[in-house]
Structure 1
Amino acid sequence: MDSAEMARLEDEDSAIMKTIKATSTGLAAGVLWGTVVATWYDVPRVERHVALPGLIRTLKMCGNYGLTFAAIGGIYIGVEQLIQQQRGKRDFINGAVGAFAAGASVYGFKGRSMSRAIAAGSALAVTSSCLDIGGQRTRRDAGKEYYPYTVQKRPSPSVN
């Protein structure tokens, strides 16, 4: 790879990096959610030729949920970034198209039904649009200014 291509891949604001981050975050969240769901089900009885059936079932659920969440996150951000670059605008439509593509492709593939694909894509698109239009943020600016930490001692107040 030449230095220009390496710099493009290292840029954390690039579309590729955002897609990679969304995919890995989706994978981590899906594995965590799969673990929670696996604990809600009864552990199967020990079978004669199956070693550790509870652990195997839990790992399969973690993997299934992890891959599903990773696919949704990757497709959503990837399509959103692609649409944003093509349109040259940053608005709620990009997210809605990305959400529809993610929902329709992932849940349509899993459900093997066109009606489920359209329903899932529409539900995710409406949710994404509502969040984008409503300006929902995960962080709020408190208006505080933070200064860098220094190791210098402040002068002690003189006592009169």
Structure 2
Amino acid sequence: MGSEEDSPVMKTVKGAVTGLAAGTIWGTVVATWYDVPRVERHVALPGLIRTLKMCGSYGVTFAAVGGLYIGVEQLVQSQRKKRDYVNGAIGAFVSGATVYGYRGRSIQSAIIAGSCLAFTSAALDIGGNTTKVDNGKEYYAYTTEKKPAH
């Protein structure tokens, strides 16, 4: 794989896309559990429309958090020239504070959300429970070698 795919920009995009997918799925789950569809006049398929709005809302939020987290983490890593839990914690704090602070429209909610995400990120990294070890290589579930002809 080329170095283009391992660039901080590509990692940031991948983080945002992953967040979008996860958020959309989570939005569907939340809509199914909590958002009992109301019957509304002049709205075709009200349950579906409300579910799609919720999916979009969660998807965009998760995409913003994922993209900001990876982007800030990569930026901090390039500035510090170190790869440790601090990069992830800073990325998590900035993404949590920015996204959830904006949504909550208060400094207090920004600090709380950023701190919670930073603590979680640092705890996972320090404990070695990261969801992915980034060693610069990508692994695929298939092989690129051709099968021998029988």
With normalisation by structure 2, the TM-score equals 0.85
In 1, distance between residues paired with 2:114 and 2:36?
A: 32
In 2, distance between residues paired with 1:86 and 1:139?
A: 22
Secondary structure, in 3 states, of the residue corresponding to 2:5? coil
In the alignment, structure 1 residue 151 sits paired with structure 2 residue 148: yes
> How do 1:116-131 residues align onto structure 2 when only pairs under 5 Å count?
116-131=109-124
Match of 1:42 among 26, 36, 42: 36
In 1, distance between residues paired with 2:110 and 2:130?
A: 28
> How do 1:94-109 residues align onto structure 2 when only pairs under 5 Å count?
94-109=87-102
Secondary structure, in 3 states, of the residue corresponding to 1:12? helix
Deviations 1:65-91 (A, max 9, x none): 000000000000000000000110101
Alpha carbons of 1:118 and 1:20: their partners in 2 closer, same or farther (altered >3 Å)?
same
> How do 1:21-60 residues align onto structure 2 when only pairs under 5 Å count?
21-40=14-33, 41-45=35-39, 47-60=40-53
- Name the aligned partner's letter for residue 104 of structure 1: A
Structure 1 unaligned segments of length 5 or more: list them: 1-6, 141-147, 154-160
Which is bigger in relative contact order (C-alpha 8 A, separation at least 6)?
2
In 2, distance between residues paired with 1:152 and 1:102?
A: 52
In 2, distance between residues paired with 1:117 and 1:138?
A: 25
Match of 2:76 among 83, 89, 106: 83
With normalisation by structure 1, the TM-score equals 0.80
State the shift of 1:137 in Å: 3.9
**RMSD of Structure 2 on Structure 1 (CA):** 2.1
Structure of greater Rg = 1
Alpha carbons of 1:110 and 1:152: their partners in 2 closer, same or farther (altered >3 Å)?
same
> How do 1:131-150 residues align onto structure 2 when only pairs under 5 Å count?
131-138=124-131
